[in-house]
Amino acid sequence: MYSVVRLFSYDDGLTVENQTLTDEYNITEHVCSTEEEIIESCGDADAVIGIFEPFTARVINSLPKLKLIACKSMGWNYVDLDACRARGISVTHLTDTFVDDVADYVIACVYAHNKRLFYFDRSVRYDKKWDYMICPDMHRLKCETLGLFGFGRIARTVADKLSGTGMRILAYDPFVEQSVADPYDVQMVDAKTLFRSSDYISLHMPLVEGTAKVVNKALFDEIPGHLVFINSARGGVVDEEAMIEAIDNGKISFAYLDVLTDEYPDLNTHPLANRFNVILTPHIAFYSKESGNGGRKQACEDIMNFFSGNYGKCNFVPGGNNTGKQPGTF
């Protein structure tokens, strides 16, 4: 019998997990947000299902039975991979589960801004104005350019879903060749050109070693002005102080931020919490009822495949297969 602990709650309890896991697995729920809570709750766990909890070296070294961390998220920046590697603990994550949901969030931001919905709502609701000329600079989508910083699964889905609008779409990704972007009618450019040439920029990269604050002052300084900035990736990939400066000086005219540097920011003190030209959402781009349940199911399937030795079916994060065996071997 394998012991599995889920570290967050759902209204239906463990219904999806119990329907997915076989009788070899005993799953319990212990809501944790601190190192101490994880250590106290997971001492006998063979596997844990987490989402943003701090799996630091201290936590990992305090869980003697742990063999697998199944992240119910696409990102894994809250897990110390070096500590996992040293202990032989493997790490999986979700891959395609949230792709459509995050892509739809980005597209919703583009459409909402293109028609200036928030400006007009504020004008009508608070200024009592019924005047379509308060935003004379509106253009058709086919006259505007979207820049995608990163061109993985989500960015490609955004490009595919917007293909019928006629928007010009650019992308920057040092790991993607132009031939990959051609079927999406996307032009690959360098990062500075992306920031100089786009009306909208949407971020699409994980927070891993080498991407922290990769969107920095040097790139923001390339903006000619009036950029719409969308971040549904990770707050840590952006130099937040430089972004705030770009908002203050008008280079960014509007920002749609689903993530900030702090996963749980203090909204009473955060400098972006009360800006009229910043829309904040609490890391919800990934969520729908379908994606939530799908992610829970995939995490459980990764656990079963892992303990069955079916490593080729596990969705390991890069560098997360610490079994000592290659996929397809036992």
CB 233 within 8 A of CB 150: yes
Q: What is residue 38's DSSP assignment?
A: H
Whether 229 contacts 243, CB under 8 Å: yes
Q: Please give the domain boundaries of the chain with CATH numbers for all domains.
A: 2-97+288-313 (3.40.50.720), 99-280 (3.40.50.720)
**Under a CB-based contact definition with an 8 Å cutoff, are residues 73 and 94 in contact?**
yes
| Contact predicate 169/198, CB 8 Å | no
pTM: 0.88
Give the number of other Cβ atoms within 10 Å of residue 79's Cβ. 24
pLDDT values of the chain reduced to their tens digit, one per residue, 330 residues: 999 999 999 999 999 999 999 999 999 999 999 999 999 999 999 999 999 899 999 999 999 999 999 999 988 999 999 999 999 999 999 988 999 999 999 999 999 999 999 989 989 999 999 998 888 888 999 999 999 999 999 999 999 999 999 999 999 999 999 999 999 999 999 999 999 999 999 999 999 889 999 999 999 999 999 999 999 999 999 999 999 999 999 999 999 999 999 988 999 999 999 999 999 999 999 999 999 999 999 999 999 999 999 999 999 999 899 887 654 433
CA distance 188 to 194: 9
Q: Which residues contact 102 (CB under 8 A, 6 or more apart)?
A: 154, 232, 285, 286
